[in-house]
A = this chain, B = another copy of it.
Amino acid sequence: MQRVRIVLSHTSHPGNIGAAARAMKTMGFSRLVLVNPKAFPDPQATAMAAGADDVLAAAEICSSLQEALSGTVLALALTARRRELATEPLWARAGAAEIAQSTATGEVALVFGNETSGLSNDELAQCGRWAMIPANPDCSSLNLAAAVQVMCYELRLAMQDSLPLPPPVAGAGAPATHEEVDGLLTHFEASAVASGFLDPERPGRLMLRLRRLFARSGLEKEEVSILRGLLASFRQPTGKRHAGLKKPNPP
């Protein structure tokens, strides 16, 4: 359970942070990460945390979701409605099961957005999976801490029930971390600008689309290395091509 971080992005009401900390603790989770909270620490957070002051005291504060997800191998975004640019959603229970399985390979995150506006498209694109809590279509927005409670409850059950995974097969490599995927995207961007495909003045949605694609793919470390090697080879001056180059990152 130490491998699970609960990430609250751009939370407006400090009382919700406290209530979320309590919800986490009742389900046995303790790693709270706050991205640009509007007010924290705050007496309202402490009041709502009840016995979970330790969770609040140990909370990490980050300035971006990217920083908050550093080192994770899978992030599950919670959203109250279907989102553009998003792949098929999972229901909460299935999402919790995927997250529970991924704790076998590394750190994971459950990601919750702002109370009113939810997660931005850019934040959503950084999460490999996204899930919805089944709800009344006429009133689908749970209180933030209530959503944290439901997801932590499902995750607790999923982690208790999860059968040991089959042993890894040869060829299934170690998952890339969030930073490694990020490095790949930066490399893609630089290459696309260099080739003229991407106009930095008018970037459009290219990088968002690629981020979303690779977040969904569950990249392995070695795949990142292969793709970066390929990108590096594309940027060799034309004259040097076809000339028995050293491969930057041989497959």
Question: Of A3-11, A67-75, A155-163, which binds chain B?
Answer: A155-163
- Taken together as a complex, chains A and B put the C-alpha atoms of A27 and B172 apart, in Å, by 34
The reply to whether A136 and B25 contact each other, CB–CB distance below 8 Å, is yes
What's the interface size class on A, roughly?
35 or more
- Taken together as a complex, chains A and B put the C-alpha atoms of A178 and B143 apart, in Å, by 34
Q: Which of B140, B142, B198, B234 touches A191 (beta carbons < 8 Å)? A: B234
Q: Which of B87, B91, B172 touches A88 (beta carbons < 8 Å)? A: B172
Using CB atoms, name the residue of chain B closest to A169: B82
Within A213-251, the residues touching B (CB, 8 Å) are: 213-214, 216-219, 222-223, 226, 229-230, 233-245, 247-248, 250-251
- Tell me if A149 is interfacial: C-beta within 8 Å of chain B: yes
Contacts A23-B143, A86-B171, A192-B233; A223 near B218 (Cβ below 8 A): no
A selection of 12 A-B contacts at a CB cut-off of 8 Å is A26-B136, A82-B166, A87-B218, A88-B165, A88-B168, A134-B153, A134-B157, A195-B234, A196-B240, A209-B251, A213-B217, A234-B235
